Amino acid sequence: MAEQLIIGGVRREASDGATFDVTEPATGQVLTQVAKAGPADVDAALVAAHAAFADGRGTWARTNATARGRVLHRVAELLREREDLFATTEARGAGHPIGDARWEVGAAAGTFEYYAGAANKHFGQVVPVQDAGLDVVLREPVGPVALIVPWNFPLLIACWKLAPALACGNPVILKPASLTPLTALLLGDLLVEAGVPEDQVHVLPGPGGIVGDALVADPRTAKISFTGETTTGASILKASADHIARVSLELGGKSAAVVFADADIAAAAADTPMAVFGNAGQDCCARSRVLVERPVYDEFLAAFTATTEAIAVGDPLDTSTEMGPMISAGQRQTSLDYLEVGAAEGARLVCGGEVLDGPGFFLRPAVVADVDNSMRIAREEIFGPVVSVIPFDGEDEAITIANDSPYGLSGSLWTGSATRAIRVARSLRTGTLSVNTNRSVRFEAPFGGYKRSGLGRELGMGAMDAYTEVKNVFFSE
Ligand code: NDP
């Protein structure tokens, strides 16, 4: 039987009984069927969410913040108890190596723990106005929120949105990517089991062009939090403009790791490959451009290539696997096409790019060297295991090349000089930057992009602002 969708916290079939197949990336075979929501299901979820919110007078919105926090703590506990189930489902449904998938379940639980604690620490203000009286600023839940999630980190990104949205008292309508709906549905059940009132919880798998579009265009959707492609984000901004929805967008990237000659080259070369090839390169923060100062270019490239060639590519359920399959044949073909584009542009393929024999959507990580930043492989988001290595001369040129991108999501800086680290960090136009490491996202800190990489920030305490309205009330003396 097909996995059912969730409206009002309850599993049910799509209103027209439609279903769609979910494919396992490691085998290329159908894993299961899932209910395919349509416009009638979107309407049912919005009706239920609106009734539940009741203009801010609904039970969850009025539940005191400490009690909401307790429920979110329970969500985290249940996630940790069910690590095996969630990790295995993510490994099979999204192709994540099982070790990574286990880490993601822990990070998802950590996100809920953080917002469990944040729920009763998101204060209003008292403003010293000149009129005689008391001026207070209240933070109120915004209303039904549409949370639209991509396929690359289905569980984790859903939790980055769900946890603050629920901490603030909003009903949630989660729209998972069609390629990876399974952990979102498990999560919907778990929220209800943890104590989130049923009428706050809706999970609608189904096509973005139908379900996503209907959610975005509907004036009953108070806020949209979207993660996905830049072009989809732009269309969401347009589609939601008429009803002035609150919108936050986490979009694509073409992030640079900048390696200066004074860096610990061995450490940078050992760490950076997985910063682009992790999750088979399907990571918005992937360091898909590696900029290397010319005096250490050959040394770095040799070490980087050796580390890349040693990456274990294979079955995501094997604990020794470091890189699993890509999500689909189409996504793999996109990477193969870009490798041809790079060759035609004059770049040099140093290693990788081979399709693995057998079933599944596997591709060996590819290192492309001697890339010029004007080439398409350096400018366009490939979203696959392909890295462009680009030489540079001196600090100014490094900054110019790193910033010469339509995107500005993430990045890293490797140097032995603290003063250079400060100068360059302040000059890079990117929302997240790591110095002498490549890890980008910490749920305690804001995350999001400059330029075409997004609008607004997720995570950290700032997300609590993003899921609330500000009300100013003046009490006359
Ligand atoms: P898409 O933009 O294609 O899809 C993202 C989600 O939006 C999916 O749930 C999709 O549904 C839905 N969607 C598609 N069309 C519409 C529409 N017209 N209206 C509303 N929703 C719609 O991105 P991908 O899933 O391909 O994800 C990869 C992209 O996400 C990459 O570009 C990557 O850089 C970016 N990304 C950004 C991150 C960030 O934080 N900045 C983090 C992770 C990824 P369906 O699956 O049914 O098509």
Give, to the nearest 10 degrees, the angle between helix 65-81 and helix 182-194: 130
**What confidence tens digit (pLDDT) does each residue in 236-247 have?**
999 999 999 999
The rounded distance, in Å, linking the Cα atoms of 151 and 262 is 38
128 CA distance to ligand 1 middle (Å) = 44
**Tokens (6 digits) for 192:** 């209800």
Rounded to whole angstroms, the Cα distance separating 240 from 238 reads 6
Asked whether the beta carbons of 162 and 54 are under 8 A apart, the reply is no
- Answer yes or no: is pLDDT of 1 > 90: no
Residue nearest to atom 30 of ligand 1 (CA): 228
Nearest Cα neighbor of 201 from 218, 182, 184, 216 is 184
The reported pTM is: 0.97
Q: How confident is the model at residue 186 (pLDDT cuts 50, 70, 90)?
A: very high
**Structure token digits, residue 134:** 């008391």
CA distance 246 to 24: 35
What is the mean predicted confidence (pLDDT) over 31-51? Answer: 98
Name the percent of the chain lying above pLDDT 70. 100
Residues 215, 279, single domain; the answer is no
Give the integer Cα–Cα distance in Å for 249 and 235.
11
Domain-embedded: residue 448: no
Q: Are residues 269 and 398 in the same domain?
A: yes
pLDDT at 455 (0 to 100): 97
User: Does 41 have pLDDT greater than 90?
Assistant: yes
Catalytic residue list contains 175: no
pLDDT category of residue 183 using cuts at 50, 70 and 90:
very high
252 C-alpha vs ligand 1 centroid, how far in Å?
9
Q: Looking at the structure, do residues 210 and 303 belong to the same domain, yes or no?
A: no
Task: Print the domain residue range for 366.
Answer: 256-442
Distance CA 51, CA 204 (A): 18
Residues 461, 411: one domain?
Answer: no
95-136 residue pLDDT tens: 999 999 999 999 999 999 999 999 999 999 999 999 999 999
Which residues 6+ apart lie within 8 Å of 233 measured at CB? 226, 249, 251, 454, 455
Taking the C-alpha atoms of residue 150 and residue 157, their distance in angstroms, rounded to an integer, is 8
Query: Within a domain: residue 267?
Result: yes
Same domain, residue pair 224 and 293: no
Asked if residue 282 lies in contact with residue 383, where contact means CB atoms within 8 angstroms, the answer is yes
| Cα distance between residue 365 and residue 363, in whole Å | 6
Quote the CA–CA distance of 157 and 178 in Å, as a whole number: 15
User: Which residue among the candidates 159, 168, 284, 285 is catalytic per the annotation?
Assistant: 284
**Which residues are near ligand 1 (CB < 6 Å)?**
148-152, 175, 177-179, 207-209, 212-213, 216, 227-229, 232, 235-236, 250-253, 284, 381, 383, 409, 449, 453-454
d(CA 356, CA 155): 27
Answer whether residue 469 is part of any domain.
Answer: yes
Q: Check if 351 is active-site.
A: no
Number of H helices, E strands in the chain: 16, 22
**CATH number, domain with residue 212:** 3.40.605.10
CA nearest to 444, candidates 425, 428, 459:
459
Q: Nearest residue CA, atom 25 of ligand 1? A: 150
Mean pLDDT for all residues in the chain: 97
412 and 263 within one domain = yes
**Amino acid making up residue 168:** C
Positions of E strands within 107-229: 125-127, 133-141, 145-148, 172-175, 201-203, 223-227
**DSSP label of 448:** -
Are 148 and 272 found together in one domain? no
Q: How confident is the model at residue 440 (pLDDT cuts 50, 70, 90)?
A: confident
Ligand 1 atom 13, closest CA: 208
**Residue 392 domain-assigned?**
yes
**At 341, which CATH number?**
3.40.309.10
Q: Based on the fold, state whether residues 246 and 262 are members of the same structural domain.
A: no
Question: Is 62 a member of any domain?
Answer: yes
Tell me how many domains the chain contains. 2
117 and 210 fall within a common domain: yes
Q: Which DSSP letter does residue 370 get?
A: S
| Residue 117 shares a structural domain with residue 82 | yes
Q: Do 220 and 266 lie in a common domain?
A: no
Residue 166 sits in the same domain as residue 28:
yes
Q: Is residue 105 part of a domain?
A: yes
Report CA torsion sign: 426, 429, 431, 433: negative
Token output for 246: 């609150």
To test the pocket of ligand 1, the residue of 157, 232, 410 to mutate (highest count of ligand atoms within 8 Å of its CB) is 232
**Token output for 69:** 């926090």
Both tokens of residue 461?
Answer: 């305490």
In a domain, 202, yes or no: yes
Q: Is residue 3 flagged as an active site residue? A: no
Which residues are within 8 A (CB) of 350 and not within 5 positions of it... i.e. 6 or more apart?
Answer: 301, 305, 367, 368, 369, 389
Q: Residue 441's pLDDT is what?
A: 93
In a domain, 401, yes or no: yes
Q: How many beta carbons lie within 10 A of that of residue 348, not counting itself?
A: 13
